[in-house]
Amino acid sequence: MGRELLRIEHLHKEFEGKTVLDDLSLTLREGEVAVIVGPSGCGKSTLLRCVNALEPVQGGSIFLDGEEIHADPRKLPQLRQKVGMVFQSYELFPHKSILDNITLAPRMVQKRGREDAEAEALALLERVGLADRAKDYPRQLSGGQKQRVAIVRSLIMHPALMLFDEVTAALDPEMVREVLDVLLDLAKQGRTMLIVTHEMQFARAVADRILFLDDGGIVEEGRPLDFFDHPKTERAQRFLNTFTFETVKE
């Protein structure tokens, strides 16, 4: 594993006086895939949103590649280019074709030429099996397809770090797989990723490290096999038990 890419120090975040993240520290190295799991409302998504400053923080600091993210709002567009984020609800731009959705940021933010951006967009679409949908509009695509496009739209900016915020939570079960396969593929390419998910089997397969979040803090962290098979804390055990069912029939 490479050098340190993301460092979060003593992060404190509250919503209207209610503490959501409490003295949370975390580092992520280049090429590392960390999966954040935990009960709903534990602050997983908020943590991701703080990392690219979609949420203001009330204390602590976040460094990306040594640069503090929340220090200067004018530098944000610059810093956010290094962080790709994929949302639960895809958030494609409905008035733009798939190709234009993907090429907007490289052309307007990075000032790349149309041909260059489109060529890369098509290559990336090919990779997620959607090259033939380039001219379509988001409403013509299924949820799983939209989410794959949203991933491509982030990838084309060549981010150093990718954030995935429950990207399969809004999908029908049979579409979950096609999106997770893309994420597994990215992990194989050695991308640095911070993933929030409720898909435990997937977390086990993709993660280098599992972070178990509860009550605004990291309660337990470890390699996936250790965490899933031998959780150390009682809270993690209780959480994992909610995913298994006792047989009720003989």
Partner 1 sequence: MQALGFEVLWKGKNFARLMGGLWVALRISLIAVGISLVAGVLMGALMTRKNPVVKALTRLYLETVRIMPQMVLLFLAFFGTTRWFGWNLSGETASVIVFALWGTAEMGDLVRGALESIPRHQYESAAALGLDGKQSFLYVILPQTLRRLLPQVINLVTRMIKTTSLVLMIGVVEMLKVAQQIIEANRMKVPNAAFGVYLTVLVLYFLACWPVSLLAKALEKRWS
Q: Is 76 in the site for partner 1 (CB under 8 A)?
A: yes
Q: Is 17 in the site for partner 1 (CB under 8 A)?
A: no
d(CA 13, CA 16): 10
- Which 135-164 positions form the footprint of partner 1 (CB under 8 A)? 150, 153-154, 157
Among 213, 175, 171, CA closest to 195: 213
Q: Is 81 in the site for partner 1 (CB under 8 A)?
A: yes
Per-residue binding letters, 31-60, with partner 1 (x by CB under 8 A):
---------------------x-x------
Q: Please, are residues 37 and 197 in contact by the beta-carbon 8 Å criterion? A: yes
Among 47, 83, 141, 180, binds partner 1 (CB under 8 A): 83
Residue 12, burial from CB neighbour count under 10 angstroms (0-12, 13-18, 19+): middle
Q: Would the CA dihedral through 110, 70, 206, 245 be positive or negative?
A: negative
**Which of 104, 169 has the CB closer to partner 1?**
104
Residue 94, burial from CB neighbour count under 10 angstroms (0-12, 13-18, 19+): exposed
Length of the chain: 250
Neighbours of 86 (CB within 10 A): 25
Q: Is 240 in the site for partner 1 (CB under 8 A)?
A: no
Among 17, 56, 66, 94, binds partner 1 (CB under 8 A): 94
Q: Quick one: which segment of 6-14, 62-70, 102-110, 198-206 binds partner 1 (CB under 8 A)?
A: 102-110
Binding site for partner 1 (CB under 8 A): 52, 54, 76-78, 80-81, 83-85, 87, 89, 91, 93-95, 104-105, 108-110, 150, 153-154, 157
